[in-house]
Structure 1
Amino acid sequence: MDQRERYRLLYCRSKRTYLPNEQTSFLFIGNLDLLTPNAKTTGVITKPQSPTEPSAPGPVTVTPAGAVRGSWMDSRLGRRFQAYRGIRYAQPPVGELRFQPPVDMEEYSSEVDASEEGPGCPQPERPGKYPMDEDCLRLNVYTPDNNSSRKLPVVVFIHPGGFYSFAGRSDLFGPHYLLDRDLVLVTLNYRLASLGFLATGDAVAPGNNGYKDQVSALRWVQRNIAAFGGDPNKVTISGCSAGSRSVILHMISPMSKGLFHQGIAMSGSPVGKVAVPTQQFELAQKQAALLNCPTNTSRAIVDCLKTKTWQEIGNSLNGFWSGSSDAVSFWTAIVEPDVGQPRFLPVQPDEAVRQGQFQAVPLLISQTEGEFFWKAFAVTQNQTRRDLMNSEWETIAPESFSLPEENSAAASHRLRQAYLDDKPIEDTPESSEALGKLYGDSWIGLNVHRMANLLCRHSSQPVWYSAFSYVGNNSFYQDPTTHKPRGAAHHDDTIYVFSQSYLRPPIQARSPPPPAPQDHLMVERMTAIWYTFAKYGDPNPREGELPELSSLHWPAMKPEDRKYLKVDRQFSVHEKLHEDRLQVWDEIYPMQY
Structure 2
Amino acid sequence: MFRILALVVALTCACAHKDHHHGTTEACEASEPVTVTPSGRIRGSWLQTRRGRRVQAYRGVRYAAPPTGELRFQPPKPILQYQSEVDARTEGPACPQPVIDPDYFLDEDCLRINIYTPEKKPSKPLPVVMYIHSGGFYSASGRSDLAGPDYLLDKDIVLVTINYRLASLGFLSTGDKYAPGNNGFKDQVVALEWVRRNIAPFGGDPDLVTISGCSAGSFSVLLHMVSPMSKGLFHRAMSISGSPISQVAVRPHQKELAIKQAQLLNCPVDSSEAIVSCLKTKPWRDIANSLDKMFTFGYDPILLWAPIVEPDVGQERFLVENPLESVQNGRMHPVPYIISQTTREFFWKAFSILKNENYTNTMNAEWERIAPVSFLLPPERSKEAADRLKQAYLDGKPLRNDSVTADGLGKLYGDSVTAFGVHRLANLMCRHSPHKVFYYEFAYVGNRSHYQSPVTGKPVGAAHHDDLIYLFGLPVSFPIIPADDSRDSSIVDLMTEIVYNFAKKGDPNPLSMGPSWPAMTPQHRQFLRVSSPPTVQQNMFEDRFRVWDEIYPIKY
| Range class of TM-score, shorter chain | over 0.9
Match of 1:201 among 154, 172, 175: 175
Q: Say whether residues 1:580 and 2:543 are aligned partners.
A: yes
Matched residue, 1:363: 337
Match of 2:27 among 54, 59, 62: 54
Worse-matched range after superposition: 414-423 or 68-77: 414-423
Report deviation, 1:381.
4.4
Match of 1:570 among 505, 517, 533: 533
Matched residue, 2:187: 213
Segments of 5+ residues of structure 1 without an aligned counterpart are: 1-25, 37-45, 512-516, 542-547
Report deviation, 1:573.
1.1
Matched residue, 2:140: 166
Alignment of 1:518-529 (within 5 A): 518-529=487-498
CA pair 191-381 structure 1, distance change in 2 beyond 3 A: closer
Report deviation, 1:435.
1.9
Report deviation, 1:388.
4.9
Matched residue, 2:49: 75
* Higher helix fraction (1 or 2): 1
Matched residue, 1:228: 202
Read off the aligned partner of 2:537 and give its amino acid letter. H
CA pair 340-146 structure 1, distance change in 2 beyond 3 A: farther
CA pair 200-385 structure 1, distance change in 2 beyond 3 A: closer
- Structure 1 Cα separation of the partners of residues 168 and 352 of structure 2: 29
Segments of 5+ residues of structure 2 without an aligned counterpart are: 9-18
Report deviation, 1:351.
0.2
Paired residues of 2:23 and 2:50 also in contact (CA < 8 A): no
Matched residue, 1:21: none
Paired residues of 1:463 and 1:556 also in contact (CA < 8 A): yes
Alignment of 1:106-505 (within 5 A): 106-145=80-119, 147-321=121-295, 326-382=300-356, 385-386=359-360, 388-505=362-479
Matched residue, 2:14: none
Report deviation, 1:323.
5.1
Worse-matched range after superposition: 162-171 or 266-275: 266-275
SS of match in other structure, 1:52: strand
Number of residue pairs aligned between Structure 1 and Structure 2: 545
CA pair 107-50 structure 1, distance change in 2 beyond 3 A: farther
Read off the aligned partner of 1:527 and give its amino acid letter. T
Paired residues of 1:124 and 1:317 also in contact (CA < 8 A): yes
- Residues 147-193 of structure 1 deviation map (CA, whole Å, 9 limit, x = unaligned): 32310000000000000000100011111100000000000000001
- Structure 2 Cα separation of the partners of residues 427 and 291 of structure 1: 37
Worse-matched range after superposition: 523-532 or 88-97: 88-97
SS of match in other structure, 2:207: strand
Matched residue, 1:9: none
Read off the aligned partner of 1:32 and give its amino acid letter. I
Paired residues of 1:50 and 1:171 also in contact (CA < 8 A): no
CA pair 34-394 structure 1, distance change in 2 beyond 3 A: farther
Report the TM-score, using the length of structure 2 for normalisation: 0.94
- Structure 2 Cα separation of the partners of residues 540 and 579 of structure 1: 25
CA pair 439-356 structure 1, distance change in 2 beyond 3 A: same
Paired residues of 2:22 and 2:473 also in contact (CA < 8 A): no
CA pair 550-520 structure 1, distance change in 2 beyond 3 A: closer
Report deviation, 1:424.
4.0
Worse-matched range after superposition: 373-382 or 196-205: 373-382
- Structure 1 Cα separation of the partners of residues 165 and 20 of structure 2: 23
Worse-matched range after superposition: 239-248 or 383-392: 383-392
SS of match in other structure, 1:451: helix
Read off the aligned partner of 2:27 and give its amino acid letter. P
- Structure 1 Cα separation of the partners of residues 227 and 409 of structure 2: 35
Matched residue, 1:539: 508
Worse-matched range after superposition: 550-559 or 185-194: 550-559
- Structure 1 Cα separation of the partners of residues 188 and 210 of structure 2: 14
Matched residue, 2:5: 33
Matched residue, 1:592: 555
Report deviation, 1:346.
0.3
Q: Aligned residues: percent identity?
A: 58
